[in-house]
Chains A and B, each alone.
Chain A
Amino acid sequence: MVKQFAEWLSTTSPSVFIQNHNGWVIPAIQSIHIIGIAAVFGSVFMIYLRILGWAGMDQTLRQTTSRFGPWLTGGLWLMLVTGVLMVLGEPVRELVTFSFWLKMLLVAVSTVIATVFLVAVRGHDQQWEERLIKRRSIQGLAILTFLIWVCIIILGRLIAYDHIWGPWSPATKA
């Protein structure tokens, strides 16, 4: 099903355009995607360090999230756009992999967590500053979601090496 969709997608005109210019278009899109990773991962990193009390302690949590939240959101949009372009450029290489779909699942999970967190801090400022941020459970959740972002980056790179999943990879069957 996915394979047929990917093959159909590769015949559409935007996809054909990228394929015809793949010498520089694909490296360029991938580079912009990595710049997006730097913006998103750098932002979540600073927020996690603040939650754990390892950096930015001269700033309140609210100040930290309003400093890095917009860069996190902006970076995610940039990655969505460049990600869609990469799928358009190489539909079969991207879509017919185990890594891609596991990555998408984790992206969905961590985007929901990030959004809920940013909204919660905005709504209940004082509670977060005084009590919630010091809870072990919140700090543990911060570490867990940070590790999810780490896995997302690894899975993104593994799309190029999907055969390492062995029988789990649809690419090895095809």
Chain B
Amino acid sequence: MTRTISLGLRGALWLVMSACIWGAFFYAWSDPAFVGQSSRILFFHVPMAWTSFVAFFAAAVWAGRYLWGGRQMRHDRAAATAVECGVLFGVLATITGSLWARIEWGAYWNWDPRQTSIVVVLLFYGAYLALRSAMADREVRARISSVYALIALVVTPFFYFIVPRITESLHPEPVLNAERTLDVDPRMFQVLLASALAYTVLFFWLHNLRARSQALIDALEDDPS
């Protein structure tokens, strides 16, 4: 029964993601304010950036649950896995962003505040993964890396809200902010929303698979027989 449901969910995700890819190229409108068809990358770039944000936030929540929710290893595994997925989506968002920047701004990289922010955020979580690999004891590793994942809640808001305001940014306004939603073409908005939803579900699926395999690895290390 659960097998059927899970197969159905995976099938639905496949259908929605395929529909998003088709919709991004054939259904949605291309914004003439940008060079050529370059605005279509929005349907992939924005959901990737959004998913990495969701993943990092989920990692902090799981880290907090580890520290104050009875120190259960599964919460630490969930936090670490969420960071791994978040880094994956963050790197993809950076790559798609710089491809777009090459077309629109003329250079792959020009230290726009958004680019600075994503690099520092990725460095932060790269450091998290380095920190984990530097500790052999599982309890110590879980405790120390959970603290580091929670420090992100203090530091990253400065990059989301403050650094972009000190220096001028050329990055387009976030599409989903209050006043711009009225401006956005409804078809563009539908595809973007569906795509963001699909990527979020994809993240939770990847996360689930990876956390389960990590649980098996841990169990095998404890009891190799």
Question: Is the pairing of A and B real?
Answer: no
Interface of A with B (CB < 8 Å)? none
Interface of B with A (CB < 8 Å)? none
